[in-house]
Amino acid sequence: MSTEESTQEVQADVQDAKMREPPTAPAAMATANKRRPRIDFTVLSGERKRGKSMFGLVVGTLNKAKIEDKERNASEAAKKRQLIEQRLQDKLRKETDSVRRAEEAKKDKTAANRREEELQLKDSIYKLRHVRLPLLSNFLLTSDIIPPSDASPPPSTNPLAPPSRSHPPPLYYIPAVLTPAQEAFLVRRKAEVTGAAEREWEAFRDERTSGIEEIKQFRQRVTEEEARRKREREDTAKAESEDKEMAEESSEFRHLDADMEVDEEPKPEPESAESERKDESGGMRADDEDAVEY
């Protein structure tokens, strides 16, 4: 028992000694590498001045570009360019409006022609009815129901209605000698048909008058649109000629600006002047050397 206890005490002493020993070089390097590096916020005065000068150069370049842009916009060529762009926008808007009005005029023309054909067809129909129906009222029909002369006739709902269809179809006829009932029936029906035909003709005349006024309005709009398009074509031709003149003037201005820029470029000094300056600098350097030797 004593031997085991002494062995355990020796092992414990060895472990304590290892824990107390300083760390080796690799362990110390690993610990140092794990440390978080610190950022040095101190900036040298030279670097700070250099940053300020760079920022000043950037601001100066932006201000110069802004000034040049203002001068360019204020120049005569820029004004002419803006005027041309505005005219092009106005031309595009006018063309769009002209196309829309042309479509409306086309629809009005089609509506006027269609309405005119409809009135012509109705006019021929109602004219025929106005003449033919009173003439047919002088005849009897095989399908007529003639009441006796002493009986009251039934009221007629539509005297202009065509005869009912049957098989065989009804026929118009007139007896050589009319009975009193037939004669009274014909007189009554002729009066009813004549009055109804007159009323129908009067109603159609009113409709025809309003239709003619409507057709006149359609044709008037078409005529106005054609006159407006003619004026627009003349104005467009005039504007195109003016735009062409302005484009030629702006091209001349651009050529003048380019020539001025070429003239403003620094001219290279002649070789003779450079050689003279070199000779003068060489002579001055020789004098200085002589003075030093003396």
- The pLDDT tens digits for 182-228 are 998 899 999 999 999 999 999 999 999 999 999 999 999 999 888 88
Please report, as a single letter, which amino acid is at residue 155: P
Residue-wise pLDDT for 63-100, tens only, equals 888 888 777 766 777 777 888 888 889 888 888 888 88
Three-state DSSP class for 26? Answer: helix
Residue-wise pLDDT for 37-67, tens only, equals 665 555 555 566 666 678 888 888 888 888 8
Which helix (H) or strand (E) segment is 140 a member of? strand 140-141
- Among 198, 236, 293, CA closest to 97: 236
Tokens of 202: 């009067």
Neighbours of 138 (CB within 10 A): 13
Residue with tokens 């030093």: 292
Pair 181, 149: CB distance under 8 Å:
yes
- Among 120, 178, 194, CA closest to 144: 178
β-strand partners of 140: 173
Residue with tokens 């009067």: 202
